[in-house]
Amino acid sequence: MSRVIALAGNPNCGKTTLFNRLTGSSQKVGNWPGVTIDRKEGRIKAIGAVLVDLPGIYSLSPYSPEEVVSRDFLLDSRPDAIINIVDATNMERNLYLTSQILDMGIPTVIALNMMDTVRRDGTVIDTEKLSKALGCRVVGISALKGEGMDELLEAISSAGETPKPVRLSDPLEKSISEISGKLEGKVPDGHLRWYSVKALERDVLAIERIGESWEEISEIIDDLEKAEDDESDSLVASERYSSISDVVVSSVKTKRASGGYTTSDRIDRIVTNRWLGLPIFAGVMFLVYYISITTVGGWGTDWVNDVFFGEWTIPGAAAWLESMAVDPVLTAFIVDGLIAGVGAVLGFLPQMLVLFVLLVILEDSGYMARIAFVMDRVFRRFGLSGKSFIPILIGTGCGVPGIMASRTIESERDRRITAMTTTFIPCSAKLPIIALIAGALFGGSALVALASYFIGVLAILLSGIILKKWPSLSGTPSEFIMELPPYHIPGVATVIRSTFEKGWAFVRKAGTFILLACGIIWFLSAFDWSMSMVGDINDSMLADIGNAITWIFVPLGWGDEWQFSVGTITGLLAKENVVGTFGVLFGFSEVAESGDEIWPIIGAMLTPIAGFSFLAFNLLCAPCFAAIGAMRRELGTWKATGAAVLYQCLLAYAVSMVIFQIGSLLMYGTFGIWTVAAFATVALAAYILVSKEPFARARQKISEAAA
């Protein structure tokens, strides 16, 4: 079996760059069990070892999922060696993690990254001295430029010695050795120091593993705390930092006077300036949107949809299949079902790739952290993160890249809620529905579009409050103690690689599901129950299904006409299908994008209130299959994705019912059992929003099931 080596380090220290350098193209991306954190693994060919990339972390505390995943891996899978990458321009904080890693007793090599920057600043680092003080090998490298790689590889392949832990102050060391005495034989030998220190910190997960000896240990800690007049966790943290500080002072000679302003500081003073901060942010967001959705990305998507699939692939395949005398049913299945289905996925790709390039640049340059810094105040009020703004903005163009942009949010809970709510904002494919309803029922008023965006934003913000109260998504509010990394110019290779990885993951994972779903809807719309193909969608199974379920929508004001139900179902393929489906259902072979031809028909069928209710439902309910596929990727399981779609549909139903019933009461004075239901819904929503714990019973059930 080949040696397993773990790569650990802080966020923003060049870990990904080093990982790519060491493993080249042999990478496997998966998930850590139970969380949606990427688990990357690759082979270091030169020394025949497997490199496991741990998430970027600041500490091995038991709180964030990233930290838990990392420490469980180091404790339970016990890799043969650890490469600890350390940012040489920010040694103190980086070595704090190092001092915890060294406690684990696993052979460790420190890769001191960004040595090129350090040299440029005129700082001199004595790696020999550092190595002696830390009791493990230290190799100076530059992951970006590929410096020091040979020496690093040599150091890893010869690493086998148990490192010497960083010594804390005498009183602490005395308590640690007393605790070690109690724990000896109860934890694995190599982990004795680690468990002793963690027990001293009263670390919850360590206590769980220690079990019965805890009471005696607790007394040792009490004595120490009394003697030192401070809590033990605070003692350990400050002692770690002061030991490291001594190490850094003795081995680093810096030229820069402390407290001076660097280029990065100067950029930051403008970018997050009290007055310029918001305008600059708005400008950057406009640029991202303009380049990825309106211009470059939009052109690419239009080209793929209209030319690549519309003019080449679909007619080409149809002609070729015809020339081969393939059965027309099979031809229709391949062309209209499969190829059109693939097209539905790949059409998004150009926009997504352009967007990803821009997002990686924002992230890598350090600006993304400033976006969170500037916007945090607004979104925190609604239980979301400052970074939630980016997915929502992108979502106005297309929900698929919008959902995927939620990846940049660190807090898993904020990320999940953002991924679940991003599609409430009207995306560009929903604009034809807005145009249809505005044109047919509101004389083309621009207020309809404005109201649509307003409903979307409101749905996101209120959902933020509601979902934060749901047991599996709640907890203590996430803190905002976040590093603001120095600005730097992102590496071209990193940008390309990261963009490609994200794009490919989407095509592969979402592609299979979307293809299947599109195939099914196509099948239902092209065949009748005797499995013979129909020329007119009015005779298809889909029409019957629409008829059968349309009663559900009667309280929303548009259930009396089955065509609206069918339109809503075909909207699951792509929202722009809704208008096209109406065209077919009302007997037009082709309709303009905004459906001018069918305006009079819809105008005769629906009241303006019912039309607006239909619009609201289609804006908020389950998004298209491509977006559901993207949600699946961010949420991790089908169960969570199903719950998210259910929530979206329920919310859409509630909002549309309230609009129609209360709207009708105010406009036409109609009153019935559903009017009462609408008022009850409003009351329930108000209760959920105001109450501290509206889902107490669900929480109880979950904890009972767990026990």
Partner 1 sequence: MATLREVACGGSAKVMRISAQGPMRKRIMDMGITKGCTVIVRKVAPLGDPMEVCVRGYELSLRKSEAEAIEVE
Provide the binding-site residues for partner 1, judged by CB under 8 A. 58-59, 61, 63-64, 90, 92-93, 96, 230, 233-234, 237-238, 241-242, 258-259, 268-269, 272-275, 277-278, 369, 372-374, 376-378, 380, 476, 479-486
Cβ closest to partner 1, residue 306 vs residue 483: 483
Cβ closest to partner 1, residue 376 vs residue 561: 376
Cβ closest to partner 1, residue 275 vs residue 529: 275
Cβ closest to partner 1, residue 272 vs residue 292: 272
Q: Look up residue 337 and give its DSSP letter.
A: I
In terms of Cα–Cα distance, which of 20, 118, 133, 6 is closest to 57?
Answer: 6
Which residues contact residue 43 at a Cβ distance below 8 angstroms, ignoring those fewer than 6 apart?
2, 23, 26, 49, 50, 51
Shortest approach of partner 1 to residue 477 CB, angstroms?
A: 9
Shortest approach of partner 1 to residue 272 CB, angstroms?
A: 7
Shortest approach of partner 1 to residue 238 CB, angstroms?
A: 4
Shortest approach of partner 1 to residue 593 CB, angstroms?
A: 39
Rounded Cα gap, residues 321 and 331, in angstroms: 6
**Amino acid, single-letter form, for residue 459:** A
Shortest approach of partner 1 to residue 104 CB, angstroms?
A: 17
Shortest approach of partner 1 to residue 415 CB, angstroms?
A: 17
CA angle in degrees (0–180, nearest 5) for 342-355-308 = 35
In terms of Cα–Cα distance, which of 78, 79, 106 is closest to 3?
Answer: 79
Distances (CA, A) of 374 to 274, 422, 603: 10, 20, 46
Alpha helices (H) in 272-348, listed in sequence order: 277-289, 296-302, 314-323, 328-332, 340-346
Rounded Cα gap, residues 571 and 621, in angstroms: 10
Shortest approach of partner 1 to residue 374 CB, angstroms?
A: 6
Residue 636's CB is within 10 A of a number of other CB atoms, namely 16
Cβ closest to partner 1, residue 92 vs residue 173: 92
Shortest approach of partner 1 to residue 378 CB, angstroms?
A: 7
Cβ closest to partner 1, residue 195 vs residue 281: 281
In terms of Cα–Cα distance, which of 171, 192, 201 is closest to 59?
Answer: 201
In terms of Cα–Cα distance, which of 269, 296, 274, 418 is closest to 357?
Answer: 296
Shortest approach of partner 1 to residue 166 CB, angstroms?
A: 15
Cβ closest to partner 1, residue 325 vs residue 481: 481
Q: Look up residue 309 and give its DSSP letter.
A: I
How far from each other are the two terminal CA atoms of the chain, in whole angstroms? Answer: 39
Longest dimension (CA), the chain: 92
Cβ closest to partner 1, residue 100 vs residue 422: 100
Cβ closest to partner 1, residue 74 vs residue 510: 74
Cβ closest to partner 1, residue 232 vs residue 661: 232
Cβ closest to partner 1, residue 84 vs residue 292: 84
Q: Given the structure tokens 């934003």, which residue do they identify?
A: 457
Work out the angle between the directed axes of helices 608-620 and 447-469 (0-180°, nearest 10): 50
Shortest approach of partner 1 to residue 382 CB, angstroms?
A: 14
Phi, psi of 53 (to 5 degrees): -90, 110
Rounded Cα gap, residues 475 and 40, in angstroms: 29
- With contact defined as beta carbons under 8 Å apart, do 356 and 300 qualify? no
Shortest approach of partner 1 to residue 270 CB, angstroms?
A: 12
**Amino acid, single-letter form, for residue 698:** A
Count how many residues are written for the chain: 707
Shortest approach of partner 1 to residue 123 CB, angstroms?
A: 11
- With contact defined as beta carbons under 8 Å apart, do 199 and 184 qualify? no
Helix (H, G, I), strand (E, B) or coil at 276: coil
Helix (H, G, I), strand (E, B) or coil at 423: helix
Shortest approach of partner 1 to residue 574 CB, angstroms?
A: 38
In terms of Cα–Cα distance, which of 368, 402, 305 is closest to 624?
Answer: 402
Distances (CA, A) of 503 to 150, 232, 415, 523, 545: 32, 47, 19, 29, 35
Cβ closest to partner 1, residue 165 vs residue 397: 165
Q: Given the structure tokens 């298809």, which residue do they identify?
A: 540
Cβ closest to partner 1, residue 204 vs residue 650: 204
**Amino acid, single-letter form, for residue 67:** E
Cβ closest to partner 1, residue 228 vs residue 302: 228
Shortest approach of partner 1 to residue 485 CB, angstroms?
A: 8
**Residue-wise DSSP of 79-94:** -SEEEEEEETTSHHHH
